[in-house]
Amino acid sequence: MRGSLQAYKQVSVNAQLASASPHRIIQMLYAGAIERLIQGKAAMEQGNIAVKCERLSKALDIVLSLRDCLSMEEGGDIAKNLDALYDFMGSEISRANAENVTQPIDDVIGMLREIKSAWDQIPTQYHYLTETN
């Protein structure tokens, strides 16, 4: 049953990505990172090291992907600030994983929620803009 549910979730995510705007994809990345961090923290608190490592590694991969999405030439100071923030988040996720501490996870979740909240407020007319438009 669990394998079927996972397969269904993956198909659902793939379907959403296929039709998503660039804006929606970033929203999904933020939500995915937050979800993986929450799962990693829960696994840490339960002493499940394998799941903790896997979920925190996925969260780190997402944060690195967000960082890779930045257009440093077009984004100016905002892109530079986000680059530094994503770098810090990556360090904090790695520290939480290595030291088995939850506070850095809570801090990164808070930062991601704040950025996602601002991202969610971008008006619809800008959702399909990319650097090539």
Domain tally, the chain: 1
List pLDDT tens digits, range 18-40.
557 888 899 999 999 999 999 99
List, for residues 71-103, the tens digit of each pLDDT value: 898 889 999 999 999 999 999 999 999 999 999
75 within a domain of the structure (yes/no): yes
Residue 55 domain boundaries: 21-119
Owner of token pair 């992907």: 65
- Nearest CA-CA partner of 113 in 33, 3, 4: 33
Residue 25 burial (C-beta neighbours within 10 Å; 0-12, 13-18, 19+): middle
Q: Is residue 10 part of a domain?
A: no
> Is there a domain that residue 7 lies in?
no
